[in-house]
A and B are shown apart, each in its own frame.
Chain A
Amino acid sequence: MFTKIVRAGQVVFLRIEDLLNKIFSSEQNILYYHGAMPNFFMWILFLSGLLLFAYYMPTLEGAYQSVEYITQKIPFGDMIRGIHRYAADAMLITVILHAVRVYFTDRYREYRIIAWYSGIALVFMMTFIGISGYILVWDERSYQIVTMTRDFLAAFPIWGDSWAHAFINDEAISNYTMAMSFFIHTGTSFALLVMLWIHYMRISRPVVNVTWALGCLLGGLVLLVSGIYPATSGPEAVLIQTPTYFDMDWFYLWIFPVMKSIGYGWTWIALTVATLFVIFLPNFVDSRDDEPASVDKDKCVGCKLCSVDCPYEAIYMAPRTDGSKFKEIAVVIDARCAECGLCVGACNFDAIELPAHISHDYMKDIRVNLEAAA
């Protein structure tokens, strides 16, 4: 059953891909840049965030006013704010596309498991950044986010009160709360880069940049949306008044309606179960038998071509100690090998082979067929 769903999803993706190839050509097909697109939006966010950072004041008195100042007084301030707001949504949308696609095309497990786990961590980090970003505006929605997050953390069975206290950063909501939110917002953004480095591990030559044309298209879309629906604040938060305004951003703030409808305890349970489900998703599928590429040390001349071409950084060159006239030998790291055979195609000396797919057997097949036809 499980495999059938995955297969159906894969065929759907291939059909969409064909269509997009006809429209955009394969060089500009957005499905071939599903990993580069979030990266593109991330750099837009860093850049626009830097501009907002210059005028923003993380205090209870100053936050709302400074955001209004940026929006109304700074040239193009409203545009920068809109870009920062909508690029964040675009980033999460493309991340979801990326995750769904790698799942259905079966490119997320075994030799790619590091990317799967670090990807889950990246989504969590993005959600922290997004939620803390909505606190910084300090309108009535921000106030509700702070109180609900505090209560949500307090409901955690282990050290709940300490988590809540660490988040509020004081006995009650104060300027230190704003400082903490600002720290979570920017600090996690930089930590995101470290996690991204882990995300790219074991991927030779990752595709991290979109083409110029796609960059213009995606950037233009964000600009267009921020022009049509300008990012605005609700009424300023006043600590002695009960806040009512809550404009939804379903990509980052979805958890708050969930908390409201099922309660904090159940939200914790649901969140834990969902996270564990995603973490263990690769384990629901049987992995195949491992038959990694093997190097014939008598034939290897140390030309490095296989180690350069390996798309998963599974081959490295080691110095030879067996008295051969060649200086280096290719060594396969079995756990990283995807058994794709790219190294076989790169070797002109028959020195590396996949035990399950010997290249000479293929040549023999070809010969047998041609002889039968003659």
Chain B
Amino acid sequence: MSDKKKVVVIACERSVNLDKELEGSHGANLKGVDNAYVVQVPCSGIIQPRMIESAFDDGADGVIAMGCQIGDCHFREGNKFCRERILGLRPPVIKKTVPKNRLEGLWMSEPQVETFKDRVRDFQDRVASELEKEGASAS
């Protein structure tokens, strides 16, 4: 078992093409990245703040909400709204109890598979250091 931090990616099915990139018993493990789980939704605009909250409650170390590049939502405004909710600019906003340092919005297009994986790995490292900081301040 890898010691990489557990990251949940809630991804728009129209953004990065993950058709050939998922494996595992539930078909959610991202190939080549340990402990990264992908759940695909029709549009990043469907991501409710509660979905992100529950992912943290269920034991995720970090959560990524991923949509298409800002400006190019198939449903016009989904990624824009999702981004604004993450930033706390659009109701309903994310609860203050959610660790925002370990939440990230990624806005990428279909062909950017490799860049996406790199960003997930970077995010895992950042989550690890954030968790260390949180542990240090708690004790």
Within 8 Å by CB of A365, from B29, B39, B82, B85, lies: B39
Contact flags A2-31 to B (C-beta < 8 A → 1, else 0): 000000001100110110010000110101
Report if A357-B76 is in contact (Cβ < 8 Å); known contacts: A363-B51, A370-B8, A372-B26: no
Say yes or no for B92: interface residue by CB 8 A criterion: yes
User: Closest approach, in angstroms, between the C-beta of A202 and any C-beta of chain B?
Assistant: 11
Say yes or no for B77: interface residue by CB 8 A criterion: yes
Task: Let me know if A366 and B37 touch, CB within 8 A.
Answer: yes
Task: Let me know if A345 and B47 touch, CB within 8 A.
Answer: yes
Chain A residues within an 8 Å CB radius of B26 = 365, 368-369, 372
Say yes or no for B131: interface residue by CB 8 A criterion: no
Chain B residues within an 8 Å CB radius of A11 = 110-111
Say yes or no for A234: interface residue by CB 8 A criterion: no
User: Closest approach, in angstroms, between the C-beta of A4 and any C-beta of chain B?
Assistant: 15
User: Closest approach, in angstroms, between the C-beta of A50 and any C-beta of chain B?
Assistant: 33
Within 8 Å by CB of A26, from B8, B37, B69, B76, lies: B69
Task: Let me know if A17 and B10 touch, CB within 8 A.
Answer: no
Question: Which positions 323-371 of chain A face chain B at CB distance < 8 Å?
Answer: 338-342, 344-348, 354, 357, 359, 362-363, 365-371
How many residues of A are in contact with the other chain, CB < 8 A?
Answer: 47
The CA of A234 and the CA of B54, in the complex, are separated in Å by 72
Say yes or no for B48: interface residue by CB 8 A criterion: yes
Report if A357-B37 is in contact (Cβ < 8 Å); known contacts: A18-B109, A369-B26, A370-B58: no
Contact flags B8-46 to A (C-beta < 8 A → 1, else 0): 101000000000000001101100000101010111011
Report if A203-B92 is in contact (Cβ < 8 Å); known contacts: A341-B45, A342-B46, A357-B41: no
Task: Let me know if A366 and B54 touch, CB within 8 A.
Answer: yes
Say yes or no for A73: interface residue by CB 8 A criterion: no
Report if A359-B46 is in contact (Cβ < 8 Å); known contacts: A365-B26, A373-B35: yes
Task: Let me know if B46 and A357 touch, CB within 8 A.
Answer: yes
The CA of A365 and the CA of B8, in the complex, are separated in Å by 10
Task: Let me know if A374 and B48 touch, CB within 8 A.
Answer: no
Say yes or no for B100: interface residue by CB 8 A criterion: no
Say yes or no for A107: interface residue by CB 8 A criterion: yes
Chain A residues within an 8 Å CB radius of B109 = 14, 17-18
Contact flags B36-76 to A (C-beta < 8 A → 1, else 0): 01010111011111110011001110000000011110111
Binding site for A on B (CB under 8 A): 6, 8, 10, 25-26, 28-29, 35, 37, 39, 41-43, 45-51, 54-55, 58-60, 69-72, 74-78, 81-82, 85, 91-92, 107, 109-112
**Across chains A and B, which 3 residue pairs bring their CB atoms closest together, nearest first?**
A341-B46, A340-B75, A32-B71
Question: What are 30 A-B contacts with C-beta separation under 8 Å?
Answer: A11-B111, A14-B110, A17-B109, A26-B71, A29-B71, A107-B74, A204-B76, A204-B77, A305-B91, A311-B76, A311-B77, A340-B45, A340-B46, A340-B78, A341-B42, A341-B45, A341-B46, A342-B78, A344-B48, A345-B46, A345-B85, A346-B92, A348-B48, A357-B41, A362-B10, A362-B51, A363-B51, A366-B58, A370-B59, A374-B59
